[in-house]
Structure formats: structure tokens, C-alpha cells
Amino acid sequence: MAALKFFTLTDLSVVLLSVLVLLQICSAQNRHQCAPSSCGNIPINYPFRLRVEPEHCGYPLYELVCENTNVTVLYISEGKYQVQAIDYNNLTIRLVDAAVQKDNCSTIPRHSLLRPNFTAASPFNWIESYNEQPRVATFMKCLNPVKKKDFPRYVDTAPCVNGTPYSYVMLGGDLTDVGDACTVELIVPSSLPIRGDIGNVSFLDVHNDLVDGFELVWYQVTCISCRGAEVCYLLSGSTPDCSASTESFFSGIEYTFKYQRLLILLIIGVIVVARLIFLGPCVLGFVIFRWRRRHLSMFEGVEEFLLSQNNFTPVRYSYSDIKKMTNNFRDKLGQGGYGSVYKGKLRSGQFAAIKLLLSNDSKGNGQDFINEVATIGRIHHVNVVRLVGYCAERSKRALVYDFMPNGSLDKYTSSYGGADGNVVLSWNQMFKICSGVARGIEYLHRGCDMQILHFDIKPHNILLDENFIPKVSDFGLAKLRPAASNNTLSLTAARGTIGYIAPELFYKNIGRVSYKADVYSFGMLLMEMAGKRNGPTNPVDSSGSYFPNWVYNQVVSGEVESGDTTTTTTTEDEKVVAKKMVMVALWCIQMKPENRPSMGRVVEMLEGELETLPLPPKPGLYPDATPVIGEEGYSDESSWSSSLYSDETISLVTSSE
């Protein structure tokens, strides 16, 4: 095998060497002199060449075009420029925009030319000193006339360039000198002074400067001796070769051995390419196999779960059924990080909301999809959204729910009204909604054989049907656990939405994660329903205010009312509802989990009398500021403040029916 490898490498080297020699023979026979040429009065020498000349004469990036036998043209960044002169000693070339005419001052350049046009790959560069700003002329159009004293660098283009809006040229400066009512049309190089008094400069002077053109420098290339050689051409399109006109066949062979290191590199490159050609398909096949195996395992995990659930009532739909229901996904209701929601219609004529999950969301082997189907597919409650069906067709996944015509609760918690700008919920409606949400969460915690922890309670995930009955939805972050297990569980990372996440998911010293995390999220939901999340309306100094603390202080001082901005009167029942929602919310958002009530107790507090509610401890902003109270998490009634029933009030967001 080693002998075979050696023979193969030796044979390949001989073949490559023979090919190079043959190519050199052909090149030596076909070479011809690249004599200097001209276009008009512009001499064309190395490294420049005309487009009609052979490609091996000069560099491709220095190609010129001779138009009408006497006009030399160079194209830069899609701009057309006439060549005025070429200085081969100083390596400079003078250009002028082809649109500028000498005896017509109304002609202006057609293309901008700036320093960013000359990158590292560009053969030309801008000529400027390190201590000098770029000499440029900026053409602008302004809506209003510009005063010379306010903008001394501006030169009026009238009477050469007239029209509305007003036209000006700014000499030097930068874009910060452009007036508010002016827009930049183009920026071109200029040779006019950019410092000192330019008040005497007219647009005719600017136009004459444009006619004179500007200079660019080109990079010095190898083979400087090509300027005096009889023959000057490029090998392989980029390597220059300069020699006498009497070169022979042997000069090609001499060149080959002179650059033997290049030959070795070529041989190595060919070997590497050959290996890639033969090994590439194998590597590609292996990658495809691993990709398919990973995704098939993900699909199999979902399928195994669905096959193991024999007591599911939701219907399994095909992806074609989903497309028919949504009329090819025509009516889009919303979009989030999980995917998109579309309005559909079942065969029975009932409307449905169809959540189409992202096809590239493969984290956790489809765990979010399994969570949603496993939780919501096994429960039935008036305050939990009903899963009508689902689709699991390889990477295509969708969930079919009952359609909620009134959308989500987040559209109604703002003080500016509802989803349509004119639908406003009354305090009684808000109270019924929060009570329904509490009963729905309480059912998830204790209503079935498996305890379901939602971990993402927020207004966006509370849907409202045609009668504004709330439905808890979106179980993608939910956790299932046996109802008889202990109250705590372990999580590898915090889950939920910022602002509603319980603090124990961040601070391990507060307590273990349990169903009390949903209680905290519900408390923040109540806070948002009862008052403005953005803080107090008229505090003396709200720069450091923490809204729950501010509400608590108002409760303790007895300054609580329903601040209805849509009516001049507020009933006593509405005041009681507002106070009760605030009291329950303050209990639910206690820093330590053991200080929060269970959702069953929350339902009792909402349905009970206000006078029976004990005053909650003050919410702590930091873990070490949280007070430690009794085992049940409630203070005794002796701590109740009678000032809660005083006539002094705090303003909360509300509205009338």
C-alpha cells in the first residue's frame, strides 16, 4: 500500500511537470510584444492597457477604453471618467467626470466619488495629506434659500443651475455642516481651497475646477522594469514577466525551474483537491446521515408520546387539513417567538385559532409541543382554553384551539381602552376576569391527577371569548408533576416573561421553585389589571418608586379608590372591587414563596368579603428585605389596619361599562 501511494504521488508529479512544460511551450510560441499604445494624446503603458489589447498586456484592473479614437475613458464604481493625463513617474492619473462639459457650466458630475469607493482591493486611492480634510465638493438641494453668513462654505449654483428647490455646492466640511432643510445629491473630489475665506468663490470657479479634474494615485506594481522592456505581459493573469523579444522555448523551462516552490505548492494543491473530490461525497453523506438521524429522533420522540396517549380527546389533523382550515394561512391573527397564529374554520363551521409552530424549533426534541399537548389535551375547564386538535407531521406542527373573538387580556389592561380603542372593561368585568383566571390556575394546580405548573401567566396568555370569559392558554413552558409529589421541583434555567417571573427562579436563597411561582405571576397580572404598571400617576418623586411598594403605602394610609377616568361617579361596589384586587395582588407578590397564598386561598380571598382580608406584609424589593411571617404566609387579623376603610383614596385604572 505504501509503494502504491509513492507510485501515485510520483506519477502525479511527473504528469503535472509535463503539463507545465507543455503550457510553457505554448505560451512561448504565442507570446507577442505588447508595445506601448496611445489614445488621442494619452500614452498607454504598463500597467495600463486598452480593452482591445490582449489580456496578458497589463493588469486587468488598469483597463482603459478608447472612445472615438481620441477619448480615453476609465470606469470606477460604475462611474465614467475621462483620462486627462497619466504621470508614470509619480504614479498618478488625472480624471474628470464624463458628464462635465468645458463650456457649459450647467453640467455637473453624474456620480459621487468618495474615500469608501477605494477599498483595499481597488487599484487606485485618494490623494490627501494626513493633516488635511478631504477636498470635496458636496452638491445639495435645499427647500429654502440659505444665508451666506450662516453657511460660509455654501456656493450658490445660480445662474448656471436653476430650479426649485434651491441648489448649492458646499466646499470641504462634512455632513454635519448640511442644513436641516437640505439634502445631499452627490459628493465629488475638488481642488479648491477648503480653509480660509471662500466668500469670493463662485460656481463658475467650481465648474472650472471640475473641468480640470482630480488626481488619483495607483499602487506600484511589481516588474517596474516593464516600463523599458520590449515585451511586457502577465503570466497566469496576474504575475508580470519582462524579458527581451528574443526569448525562446528554453526561457519557459527556465522560468518553471526558477519558481520550483510554486510548482511544489501546485502539486500539493492538486493532491488536496483530489482528496476533497473523493472524500467530499463521503463527508457530505455522513453529515446528512447525522442530520437526518437527529431530526428523526426528534420526530420519533413526538410520535412515541402521541401513541402512548390513548385517552386523548383532541383530533389529530394532517398538514393538508390545517392548510384547508386556514385557507392556505390567509388570515393571520398574530406572531411570536413560538410561531404564528391563524384564524381557521373547522368542518363543523366553528371558528378556530391555529398556532403553527416554527419548523426549525428543534430544541428539547419538540418538548414545547409535547408540553402543550400533554397539559391542555387532558384537561377541561371553563377557564382553560380547549385544545380541539393538533398536527404532528414530521417537522410540521400545529395546535388547534377554540377561537377567542375578543383576543387576549393585554389589549384591555391599558388605561387607554381596549383592542379597538373604544371597548373598555368595567371594574365588575375586570373582577370577573381575574376571578376566572384564578379558578383556572387553581384547577391546574389541584384539579386533576397531574399538577400542572404554567410558569408563564401574563395578560398575553389570557384569552377572552365572546362573553369575556377568561381562558388560560399557552402551555409551552408548563411542567407536569404527580399531584402527590412534594411541592418543589428543580429547573435548569428560569422560565417565563420578565416582569412576571417569580424571584425564586433567580434567587436560590429565597426558596425552592413550586406552584407558588404561578401565584406570583398571577399577582403581577392583578397589579396590571388594577393599576398602571408604569407607576403612580402623581407621586411627589417617582424616580425611585417601586409600584407595589407605592400601592402598599397607599393601602396602609387608606388612600385607595377606583380612579375612573371615563365617568365622574364611582360606586361603592367598584371601590370595594378595586381594594380587594389590590389586597390580593399584594399577597400574591410576596418575595418569599412561603408568604404567598395558594391559588385555592386566592380564590377564597377574591370571593370573600373585603373585611375578612388581612393586611399583607409590605412587598420586599430585595430578598434580604423580605419579612419572615407565619407558616401559612398570612399575618393575623390583629395587624389589620382600620384605615383601609377610610375615605382617603388612591387612584387606580378603571372604566365603566
Q: Which domains are present in the chain?
A: 2-31+263-274 (no CATH), 289-403 (3.30.200.20), 410-654 (1.10.510.10)
CA atoms within 13 A on the CB side of 149: 0
Closest CA to 155 of 176, 172, 143, 131: 172
Q: Would you call 647 a catalytic residue per the annotation? A: no
Please give the pLDDT value at position 74. Answer: 93
Please give the pLDDT value at position 314. Answer: 80
Q: How far is the C-alpha of 599 from the C-alpha of 597, rounded, in Å?
A: 6
- Average per-residue pLDDT for the chain: 75
Please give the pLDDT value at position 236. Answer: 44
What's this model's pTM, rounded to 2 decimal places? 0.50
What's the angle, vertex CA 195, arms to CA 193 and CA 198, rounded to 5? 70
Which three cell numbers, joined as nine digits, stand for 391? 398536527
Report the DSSP pairing between strands 49-50 and 63-67. parallel
Q: How far is the C-alpha of 389 from the C-alpha of 398, rounded, in Å?
A: 9
Does residue 580 have a known ligand-binding role? no
Please give the pLDDT value at position 171. Answer: 85
Q: How far is the C-alpha of 233 from the C-alpha of 240, rounded, in Å?
A: 6
Contact call for residues 433 and 470 (beta carbons, < 8 A) = yes
Please give the pLDDT value at position 193. Answer: 66
Q: Which residues of the chain have pLDDT under 50?
A: 1-7, 10-11, 14, 18, 21-22, 25-26, 28-32, 130-131, 224-225, 227-231, 233-239, 243-257, 297, 299, 302, 310, 362-364, 416, 419, 533-544, 563, 565-568, 625-657
Catalytic one among 241, 368, 456, 518? 456
Please give the pLDDT value at position 293. Answer: 60
Contact call for residues 387 and 399 (beta carbons, < 8 A) = yes
